[in-house]
Amino acid sequence: MRVLTGKPIRVGPGDEVVVRAQLTTATLGRLYVFAREDSEDRFSPYVPHVAALAVGDEPSMLQPMSMRLVAERPMRQISFVADIDGFVCVMQEVDTATDPLAKVRLKRKICPDLDWKSRILRKFQGIFSWPIPKLS
């Protein structure tokens, strides 16, 4: 089963997301990045830039973002640029509900290419989970 390791964070297109994970008392941690857009109601495995990768008529299996923590390497960090307007979270695959969870920290850096009005709106929208109005 998969268990949520922390609170989801709000992201927008162009935001840099940094995921830091560390084992606590477990000897193994299988972590997966999940995401959902505003129009969806459930989280699903996150594959970055899936629109650019899905080319052609043949369906293909794409690898979602994941991390594997072991006793020899108990800390890992991954970063990526979000291409969705929605939420990102990290889920851990566990055998039982009583298994210890890894310590996970998610950080977001707002896209530096936005103008100052859009940056301020996205900052407040991330704090209060408001929808982003379209500025013209």
Give pLDDT tens digits for 5-47.
989 999 989 999 999 999 988 889 999 999 998 888 899 999 8
Give the Cα separation of 79 and 15 in Å (integer). Answer: 10
User: Which segments of 4-79 does DSSP mark as H helices, in order?
Assistant: 50-53
CB 83 within 8 A of CB 49: yes
**52-108 pLDDT per residue, tens:** 655 666 667 778 899 999 999 999 999 999 998 899 999 999 998 888 999 999 999
Domains of the chain: 2-111 (2.60.120)
pTM of the model: 0.81
**15 vs 107: CA distance, rounded Å:** 10
Classify each residue of 25-56 as buried b or exposed e, where b means 16 or more C-beta atoms within 10 Å of its C-beta.
ebeebebbbbbbeeeeeebeebbbeeeeeeee
